[in-house]
Every structure is written in C-alpha cells, then in structure tokens.
Amino acid sequence: MEVEVKKLTKKNIEEIIPLRIELQKFDFKGNLGLDEKILENKTREFLNQNIDKELYMYGTYVDSELVSICGLTIFKYFPQADDLSCKVGYITSVYTKENHRSKGYQKKVFLECIELGKRLGINKFKLSTKNPVAMKMYESVGFIDDEYAKKLKI
C-alpha cells in the first residue's frame, strides 16, 4: 500500500468535490436541503476561483485514491497588539473517507496545512467542527476552545 500526501491544485478539483460533498452530508446529517448537483457546481466554481489564492488544499492518497482532504484559507485583518502579521489561517474541509479513518491520514494533511501556514507567516489558526472525534485530533496538536467566538446566521 502506497500512502502519499500531496498539495492539491486545480487539476485535482474533480477529486476534491466528492469528499467535500460527503463532508457536507455528514455536517447536515444527510439532509443537504438542496439538489446535490447544485452544491457540486458551486463547490467547483469556488475551488476554481480560490484554490492556490486564498485557499490551499492538501490530500492523502492511498494507492492513487484521494482519501483525505484538508484546506487552509487565509484571512486578513487589522494589526493587533498580540499579532502584527494581519493574517489568520482558517482550517477548512477536513474530511477522510469513512473506510480510511483512524489510520492517521487526516492528521498528515492537517499538519501539512499548519506547516504551510507557518511558512506563510501565520501564527494564529482557527477552525470549527461538529465532530467530537475530530475535536480530539485538533486538541492533540494544541488547539483550544475560543470563548470569544460568536456566530450570526441570516
């Protein structure tokens, strides 16, 4: 069995989409609330516009099959007294195919995203999740709960 972590580019978009859709199905408990093809097309459009610009993606391949993905989106903000870099790395689209879980593949791509962020001068990372198993992995690399985060959905 050959396992390889790769930086994903526009040429990998069609491989990324099914994993991203499966992540959405997991997050929304199987009920996307819209036609899956619409979500696929919007995801394709988003990836074409953003990959290798503000969004960087890594994937784990097992025997040439993409089984795990993780993304890093870079947000810019005003300088702060504790962080003059003006950037935060947001970890996104963390997903591993069900039959490949608990093998360390996700952690590999997750750490690649963190390392890339560090090379780009980012020293603050954020993420959100509904998955308690994923929370344990994030905590194992140093993520802590943020008591100040709030959300508004309109």
Domain holding 82: CATH number? 3.40.630.30
Rg of the chain over Cα atoms, rounded to whole angstroms, equals 16
Assigned domain for 146 exists = no
Domain that holds residue 110: 3-140
Closest CA relative to residue 125, chosen from 116, 81, 52: 116
Assigned domain for 150 exists = no
Q: Is 111 helix (H, G, I), strand (E, B) or coil?
A: helix
For the chain, the domain total comes to: 1
Q: Is 8 helix (H, G, I), strand (E, B) or coil?
A: strand
Q: What pLDDT shows up at residue 51?
A: 95
Q: Are the C-beta atoms of 51 and 57 separated by less than 8 Å?
A: yes
Paired tokens of 115? 């390392």
The answer to whether the Cα torsion of 127, 129, 131, 136 is positive or negative is positive
Q: What pLDDT shows up at residue 39?
A: 94
Q: What pLDDT shows up at residue 10?
A: 96
Task: Give the H/E segment covering residue 110.
Answer: helix 105-119
Assigned domain for 148 exists = no
Q: What pLDDT shows up at residue 42?
A: 96
Assigned domain for 133 exists = yes
Assigned domain for 63 exists = yes
Provide the pairing of β-strand 87-96 with 65-76. Answer: antiparallel
Q: What pLDDT shows up at residue 67?
A: 97
Q: What are the DSSP E strand ranges found in the chain?
A: 3-8, 55-62, 65-76, 87-96, 125-126
pTM here is 0.89
47: exposed, middle or buried (Cβ count in 10 Å: 0-12, 13-18, 19+): buried
Q: What pLDDT shows up at residue 110?
A: 93
Q: What pLDDT shows up at residue 65?
A: 96
Assigned domain for 89 exists = yes
Assigned domain for 153 exists = no
Assigned domain for 87 exists = yes
Q: What pLDDT shows up at residue 152?
A: 65
CA 43 vs. chain centroid, Å, equals: 13
Q: Mean pLDDT per 10-residue run, the chain (154 residues)?
A: 94 97 88 89 96 94 96 91 87 94 92 94 87 83 79 70
CA 48 vs. chain centroid, Å, equals: 16
